Amino acid sequence: MLISINNGTVYFGANDVFENIDFSIKENEKIALVGRNGSGKTTLLKVLMGEVELSSGQLIKPNKMNIGYLNQNSLLDSNLTVEEELLEAFKDLIEMENRLNDLAIKLESDHNQKNIDAYSALMEEFNFKGGYTYHSELETVLFGFGFNSSDLKRNVNSFSGGEKTKLAFVKLLLTKPDLLLLDEPTNHLDLHTIEWLENYLSKYKKAMLVVSHDRIFLDKIANTVYELEYGNLKRYSGNYTNYVEQKKANFLKDEAAYKRQQKNIKRLEELIEQFRYKKNKAAFAQSKIKYLERMDKLEDPKKADTKAFKAHFVCGNRGGKNVLSLDHLKVGYNKPLCEVSLDILRGQRICVMGDNGTGKSTLLKTIVGLIKPLGGYMLLGHQIDIAYFDQNVSSFTSGNNVLEELWNEYPDKDMYEIRSVLGAFLFTSEEVFKDVNVLSGGEKVRLLLAKLMLKKANFLILDEPTNNLDIISKEALEDALKEYDGTILFVSHDRYFIKQIATSCLVIDDNTTTYYPDGYLDYIDAKKEEIKKEETKTEKIDLKIAKNRPKYNLKKIEQEIDELENLLEEKRSLRFEPEYYQDQTKMKELDEEIDDIHNRIHAATETWELAMEEMENR
């Protein structure tokens, strides 16, 4: 066991975060920790890091275990260059490399066996620990996160906050800790980088604990899932899909057991009511009452089941069939990021995809009028009403409380309707009086979605609507949008969400756009086909190189002939040694060796002639 918690409890004030949990991580195990926002997942990570102490229970971990932690606010803050900062991850190897160089210099003047043995042992260790590959490994991970070779010489503090967060992640991965703790590692990464990261982490040879709301990411990474809900922790074997299946099966099993118990309780209560006032049956009724009192009552799994908001998006009016037409629309700031020509029809749900910085959000902001187009035309259809969701929800501030924020925007609604909508989005009782500025990211998303729902627009434009939402809330939003009969244009990096919602995809790549009319799977198939074509092209190039490559290595053949001729002279000289000419058996063996060398020289000479002929014909 690498690390474990036995009967662990954490409480802040009078509130338990989790109670009497048992948790363990084995070597090389890849664990997903799931649960709704606020369930205590980050607190558990901090317990493992030693940043939060258990209120009771025991944390068991080796003293010298190296734990690497990436939280949601990690960033690299340094005046060093990127290369200098990242090379710190290999400081032990660099120190070993310097010792090797020192020993090599010493060996030039002192060839004693002690120095030779020390150099040989250190070189073997250096090679085993990746001493000859750490530079290429650094570049592989850095480039995987979208950086390039010129970034190596840039000062770390010259990058944006988001880029510095990615650099912190790169450095953490290069250190290869014994246990890797990742809290929402895919936040703000584009699809290309997420896919690269999945591949990298799936091959990571040490233990890993990941908190993420990206369901496909968890499916590809995890082999164990822990669910933290209502203060309790439960372990499931397999990836995220296995967890969902097992949880569903457990729910059905618990529901059946609950129904059986309720049926039994009802039967007993009827018996008690029937006999409790009859003298000759009073003792029987009393025994049943005591039995009911001692019974370990099962919870209704429907009540204990995850609670999600309930959204119902509707259109105030149907609107025209042609929702939006874009004709060579150029979007950007100082220069165009992309040019889009697209006709959006009523009922379509189009996802805009692409790497960070390609212009996805800029396109949406141009359509809703927040940014002026740099060229081209844009025509909104007849009676089309737009509702816009901005991904920068975390920066949303207000002087209002939750109730005032919604009611001020819809003053014609009565108190009951506003409270009902807020209740549907999980703002109940006193929560409606919370200051908007102190809401969590997830709470702000729910409040803005409530605003969108009341607007009853027939065209939803959503920029990363699932950011800050836990998995339960994402599923609730998916269900609501699938039932919506209006039109949706949205940006998302959540592949599961895209698969569930998008009927078509618009991909922005390198200032060009490509439309995939049959949705995300259509895009994936096209991508696979591109990879296949690229691999075929590479194979053809490799084959051409192989055909043009010389069949024979002339220099190596000539070296072999020289070595054989030297060996032949050496063996011939032995014939004049008494050890051989006085011993017929040894002389016979020597003659056989000489004959063999002659044959090898003859064969090598023939090969040399073929090599010369090949060279002349090239």
User: Considering the entire predicted model, what is its pTM?
Assistant: 0.75
Query: What percent of the chain has pLDDT above 70?
Result: 95
Model confidence over 353-366: pLDDT tens digits? Answer: 998 889 999 999 99
588's tokens: 């016979």
The label of the residue with tokens 């050890």 reads 579
| pLDDT for res 163 | 87
| pLDDT for res 548 | 62
Beta bridge partners of 466: none
The helix-helix angle for 554-573 and 584-617 (nearest 10°) equals: 160
β-sheet with 375-380: strand ranges across: 336-345, 322-332, 375-380
- Regarding the domain with residue range 322-517, which homologous superfamily does it belong to in the CATH classification? P-loop containing nucleotide triphosphate hydrolases (3.40.50.300)
Q: 3-state class of 204 per DSSP?
A: coil
Model confidence over 410-467: pLDDT tens digits? Answer: 999 999 999 999 999 999 888 899 999 988 888 999 999 999 999 999 999 999 999 8
Q: 3-state class of 75 per DSSP?
A: coil
CA distance 49 to 616: 68
DSSP 348-393: -EEEEEESTTSSHHHHHHHHTTSS--SEEEEEE-TT--EEEE-S-G
Lowest-pLDDT choice from 314-318, 393-397, 594-598: 393-397
Lowest-pLDDT choice from 23-37, 380-394, 534-548: 534-548
Which among 550, 491, 527 is positioned nearest to 363, based on CA atoms? 491
**Residue 313 pLDDT grade (very low, low, confident, very high; cuts 50, 70, 90):** very high
CA distance 55 to 565: 81
Q: Is residue 68 over pLDDT 90?
A: yes
Residues 6+ apart with CB under 8 A from 487: 319, 323, 344, 345, 346, 347, 348, 349, 458, 459, 460
Residues 6+ apart with CB under 8 A from 281: 274, 275
Q: 3-state class of 295 per DSSP?
A: coil
Across the range 600-612, mean pLDDT stands at 83
| pLDDT for res 120 | 85
- Give yes or no for a contact between 2 and 178, defined as CB atoms under 8 angstroms apart: yes
- Give yes or no for a contact between 520 and 191, defined as CB atoms under 8 angstroms apart: no
Q: Is residue 115 over pLDDT 90?
A: no
Q: What is the mean pLDDT of the chain?
A: 88
Lowest-pLDDT choice from 71-80, 543-552, 553-562: 543-552
Radius of gyration, CA atoms only, the chain:
35
Q: What is the DSSP letter of 155?
A: B
Pairing of strands 459-463, 487-491: parallel
**Residue 583 pLDDT grade (very low, low, confident, very high; cuts 50, 70, 90):** confident
Using the CB atoms, write b or e for 9-41: b if 16+ within 10 Å.
bbeeeeeebbbebebbbeeebbbbbbbbbebbb
Which among 595, 311, 330, 337 is positioned nearest to 427, based on CA atoms? 311
Name the phi and psi angles at 277, rounded to 5.
-100, 5
| pLDDT for res 543 | 63
Lowest-pLDDT choice from 122-136, 322-336, 527-541: 527-541
**Residue 318 pLDDT grade (very low, low, confident, very high; cuts 50, 70, 90):** very high
Q: Is residue 607 over pLDDT 90?
A: no
Cα dist from 606 to 196, 551, 603, whole Å: 51, 14, 5
Q: Determine which helix (DSSP H) or strand (DSSP E) holds 105, and give its type and residue range.
A: helix 91-109
Model confidence over 254-295: pLDDT tens digits? Answer: 899 999 999 999 998 888 888 888 877 788 888 888 888 888
- Give yes or no for a contact between 514 and 507, defined as CB atoms under 8 angstroms apart: yes
CA distance 558 to 437: 81
CA distance 471 to 212: 9
β-sheet with 386-389: strand ranges across: 386-389, 459-463, 487-491, 349-354, 504-509, 512-516
Number of Cβ within a 10 Å radius of residue 571? 16
| pLDDT for res 550 | 65
571's tokens: 């063996």
CA distance 75 to 167: 7
Name the phi and psi angles at 352, rounded to 5.
-95, 120
